[in-house]
Amino acid sequence: PGSSFFNSNDDDFVAKMKEAEAQIVIFYGSQTGTAEDFAMRLAGEAKRYGIKALVIDPQDADMTQLSELSTIENAVALFCLATYGEGEPTDNAQAFHDLLEEKTEEENDWLENVNYAVFGLGNKTYEHFNAMATFVDDKLKAGGGRRLIDVGMGDDDVNLEEDFLEWKDLLWSAVCELMGKDANAISASFRTYQLVPVDERKKVFTGEPAIANSFKHQRPPYSQKNPFLAPIRVRRELYKDEGRSCLHIELDISGSGIRYTAGDHAAVYPTNNASLVQAVAERLQVPLDDIFQLQAVDTFTRKSTPFPCPCTYRTALSHYVELTHTPSLNIIAEMVQYAKDEQQKERLAFLCSKQGRSEYNKHIHNRHLTILDVLAEFSSVEMPIDHLLELLPRMQPRYYSISSSSKTNPDRIHMTVAIVTYKNGADTTVEGVATTWFCRLALDTDRVPMFVRRSTFRLPRKPKVPMIMIGPGTGVAPFRGFIQERLFLMQDSEEQFGETHLFFGCQNESKHFMYRDEFEDAVMKKALSGLHTAFSRDQATKVYVQHRLRERKEDVWRVLQAGGHLYICGDAKYMAQDVRKAIIEILVEMGDKTQQQALQFLKTMEEKHRFQQDVWS
Ligand code: FAD
Ligand code: 2AM
């Protein structure tokens, strides 16, 4: 196998801190890389106060060592923790979560004199907003830890960046006070990585997320670090109208050894549009085919490189960084030094000053400007590409709810993909990276780097258990898989199958009713007892799935009362919440419950895994 991008780590972080003379350790719980990014930014900023900080992945550390932190004078542990799905920790923070949960009453002083602060990355549209961060904050406090500042409740639905900035202002004041430092830090810029001569012996990465040559020599088992290159065999339009379209895609996983279960997610590493890469290259005069190597300035930062390299600039811009995300404030701050025009320099400096924050929000964040929009506006900025590359967020895999059953499609993974394109505040048409890339790929010959992420979204184990599935729009994806599976199981089966309802919604029946034939066929074959549709725009007033649920309140109550399963999939921001409200109303009315009892009923269902959600925003 090729050389690995990931370093192996000694797990005694306190010893490492002592060795590096670091006073701060920053742990991150990251699923999409943002928490890790924040952790790296904090480490970079610590330098401005003359403090050394170590960034550590909790899964590579012996977290019981936290109790030893007080052996370093004024040491501080910082946590940047994302909450995933239904209030769960991220995969890399799961063990740390479990450790905190296990700490017993008798050990409630195990963190005596340990200074800490927690920042949470969450999204208010989800029910369990920042559950992981508040859990950790509470547990550290309960363990006797010394909380430096209140837990930061970052809300990605509004402005995560701003929440982070506010929290970190408070943090640095508290840290400086603790350590007796001057809080008015010097504003010099510090590079985390630097260009170094390319080591000719090293393998050149060509887009692999972790292991050099793994695209050339494909070897199972496939995983996040070693994705399988799947050809697309089928790509067909489920609908297309003004500015909106949706695709049915089939990835071929034959021969890969990859297995999946209906309800799992397919994760895909996309490639940036070549024309976008070209545009960045032209603006910043990037020699796209040159091979380069970045290396950490400080050897104790967790990663020795920000992404797999050596590679060409073309590879880095195509595979390793997000080019359409709105530049965060630290990118703007680093641009200041490269502005040749004094007015532009001043304006950039203002945007990233405390006084200019609301202007940054109004002018850049809320208008969803891309890095190219900003570079176009600040035309005198001559930023070296290697500096920009270290600052741009790492390209993240995109997740799709698998819309097939492995019982009927063991060699294929089906996905139901809504194409993303929108005009931003600079009137730029921004293309969703993955979804528009799917449109451009050549069938059979191009390859999609992918892996399967296990989920807990599952059919009832016993087929006789009744169920209600609610999935408007692309939210119907996993239910198509469930229905395929039920149809398969029903063949030659003597077993009794519980009643099964699907609530589906879309704008117009004639245009957007995807998989209609299949669902109607399932009704005929009795795999679906009820197909309840809400066509929101086929009449003067909007009709949504929750209206149909209310109309069917007897069915809903009967199924839930009988111990049935309830599933919601699709939009987290509005739909899932409105549907929950409707369910609560039905429980109150039909079950003769108080609001409180209804909430408790649903909570118990959730704990027993009978109420499951697969939602995203
Ligand atoms: P990106 O390049 O990631 O761009 C999307 C971003 O653009 C958004 O996050 C938002 O910041 C911005 N944006 C989008 N629209 C606008 C707008 N109008 N104005 C301003 N900004 C905007 N998607 C499916 O289609 N089908 C599925 O089955 C599915 N299942 C999912 C399951 C899970 C667990 C999760 C987390 C997500 C799922 N998604 C699904 C969403 C999917 O992962 C991608 O986020 C989506 O396809 C967009 O990817 P992209 O790379 O094309 O867009
Ligand atoms: P709309 O676009 O006409 O508002 C799939 O996207 C379907 O979900 C569409 O019919 C859409 O309707 C509908 N939808 C939008 N907001 C919703 C909400 N809050 N609850 C349920 N369905 C919603």
Per-residue pLDDT tens over the stretch 296-344 = 887 666 678 999 999 999 999 999 999 999 999 889 999 999 999 999 9
How far is it, in rounded angstroms, from Cα 540 to Cα 527? 33
Provide the pLDDT for residue 1: 34
> Which residue has the least CA distance to atom 6 on ligand 2?
473
Ligand 2 centroid to Cα of residue 516, in Å, is 18
Q: Residue 185 pLDDT more than 70?
A: no
Provide the pLDDT for residue 4: 39
pLDDT above 90 covers what percent of the chain? 85
Q: What is the band of 226 on the pLDDT scale with cuts at 50, 70, 90?
A: very high
What is residue 373's three-state secondary structure?
Answer: helix
Quick one: average pLDDT of 196-201?
93
How far is it, in rounded angstroms, from Cα 471 to Cα 568? 6
Probe target for ligand 1 pocket from 435, 451, 479, with the most ligand atoms within 8 Å of CB: 435
Quick one: average pLDDT of 553-563?
97
Lowest pLDDT segment from 104-108, 174-178, 342-346: 104-108
Ligand 1 centroid to Cα of residue 420, in Å, is 7
How far is it, in rounded angstroms, from Cα 496 to Cα 501? 16
Tokens of 467: 């169920």
Provide the pLDDT for residue 419: 97
Ligand 1 centroid to Cα of residue 46, in Å, is 34
pLDDT above 70 covers what percent of the chain? 97
Between 523 and 126, whose confidence is greater?
523
Tell how far CA 491 is from the center of its chain. Answer: 38
Q: What is the band of 523 on the pLDDT scale with cuts at 50, 70, 90?
A: very high
Task: Show which residues are catalytic.
Answer: 401, 569, 614, 616
Ligand 1 atom having least distance to the Cα of 455: 34
Q: What is the band of 8 on the pLDDT scale with cuts at 50, 70, 90?
A: very low
> Which residue has the least CA distance to atom 14 on ligand 1?
420
Taking all residues of the chain, what is their mean pLDDT, rounded to a whole number? 93
Q: Which run of H or E residues covers position 565?
A: strand 565-571
> Which residue has the least CA distance to atom 52 on ligand 1?
432
Which ligand is nearest to the Cα of residue 433, counting in written order? Answer: 1
Residues with CB under 6 A from ligand 1: 265, 270, 324, 368, 398-401, 416-418, 420, 422, 432-435, 474, 477, 616
Ligand 2 centroid to Cα of residue 466, in Å, is 26
What is residue 203's three-state secondary structure?
Answer: coil
Instruction: Please tell me the pTM assigned to this model.
Output: 0.92
pLDDT in tens, 35-90: 998 998 999 889 888 899 999 999 999 999 999 999 999 999 999 999 987 788 99
Tokens of 355: 């006084």
Provide the pLDDT for residue 6: 40
Provide the pLDDT for residue 300: 65
